């Protein structure tokens, strides 16, 4: 009987931001393959002394799936530990398919995305009433093409919140395309590198016209989330549209409002 492979979201980097389920699985694991280019080895600190722990940063897809299959043929609990959430840019399905063909049971444990960790680090809200209620998680086209209808220009035309993964080396393209789409050169931008990584975390605030130079000055060229949103900086706004949920005049099934209009 083969074991089970768990695809576990490691979260953004801080060991305390892993889910309880993820941490419990690590304590039980017989083998762990972690994405060392993005996941700190410290996240495996709860593993058993005899756990087989390997770093996948030098592996190909075939190497990874072969390792997982081999370990599952000899062990009960095998973990593929991935950055953030496995369903976001995690190559999840292409790793799952070979396991399905090998009749190996799999399960996915979600994790906190770097988009959420970055907005938390910067104390920013990605949505605000009557400003934007939409968040687009995407990336800029580079060596990997984007599907039709999903170019940055097309998505930016909505003028909602954009969380851009895997795009910091193309920041010049991001700023140029957003300005071309109609965003103001003074539109606020927040770049967060290594969100939740303690002293390694960097938060840079600027505008579409300044952010590239600021990131160059800070030597930010990898592991960074770019957030562009009309909500940025709302903490300092004097006039803020507030949520109806907590409005004293708003009635919902848990509270009766003071106004019956």
Q: Give per-residue pLDDT as tens, 140-199.
A: 988 888 999 999 999 999 999 999 999 999 999 999 999 999 999 999 999 999 999 999
Residue 119's CATH number: 3.30.950.10
Assess whether 127 and 161 both reside in one domain.
yes
CA gap 243, 260 in Å, rounded: 18
**How confident is the model over 35-49, as pLDDT tens digits?**
998 888 889 999 999
Determine, yes or no, domain membership for 13. yes
Q: Which residue has the tokens 């300044």?
A: 210
The domain tally of the chain equals 2
In a domain, residue 214? The reply is: yes
Last residue of a domain, one of 109, 135, 152: 109
Q: How far apart are CA 107 and CA 7, in angstroms?
A: 6
Residue 96's Cβ-side half-sphere holds a number of Cα atoms within 13 Å equal to 13
Q: Does 26 lie in the same domain as 12? A: yes
For 56-105, write each residue's pLDDT tens digit.
999 999 999 999 999 999 999 999 999 999 999 999 999 999 999 999 99
> pTM of the prediction?
0.90
Same domain, 104 and 124: no
In angstroms, the CA 215 to CA 205 distance is 9
Nearest to 178 by CA among 206, 214, 140, 204: 140
For the chain, what is the mean pLDDT?
93
Give the Cα separation of 196 and 201 in Å (integer): 6
């Amino acid at each position: 009987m083969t074991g089970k492979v768990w695809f576990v979201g490691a979260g953004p980097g801080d060991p305390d931001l892993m889910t309880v389920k993820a941490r419990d699985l690590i304590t039980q694991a017989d083998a762990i393959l972690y994405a060392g280019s993005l996941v700190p080895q410290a996240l495996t600190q709860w593993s058993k002394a005899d756990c087989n722990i390997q770093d996948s940063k030098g592996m190909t897809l075939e190497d990874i799936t072969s390792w997982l299959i081999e370990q599952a043929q000899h062990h009960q609990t095998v973990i593929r530990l991935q950055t953030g959430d496995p369903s976001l840019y995690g190559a999840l399905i292409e790793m799952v398919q070979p396991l399905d063909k090998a009749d190996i049971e799999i399960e996915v444990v979600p994790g906190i995305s770097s988009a959420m960790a970055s907005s938390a680090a910067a104390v920013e809200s990605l949505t605000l009433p009557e400003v934007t209620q939409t968040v687009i998680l995407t990336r800029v086209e580079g060596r990997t093409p984007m599907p039709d209808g999903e170019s940055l220009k097309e998505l930016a035309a909505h003028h909602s919140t954009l969380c851009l993964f895997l795009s910091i080396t193309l920041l010049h393209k991001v700023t140029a395309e957003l300005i071309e789409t109609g965003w103001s050169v003074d539109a606020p931008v927040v770049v967060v590198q290594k969100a939740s990584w303690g002293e390694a975390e960097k938060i840079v605030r600027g505008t579409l016209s300044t952010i590239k130079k600021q990131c160059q000055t800070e030597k930010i060229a990898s592991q960074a989330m770019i957030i562009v949103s009309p909500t940025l900086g709302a903490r300092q706004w004097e006039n803020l549209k507030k949520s109806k949920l907590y409005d004293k005049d708003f009635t919902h099934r848990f509270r009766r409002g003071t106004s019956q209009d």
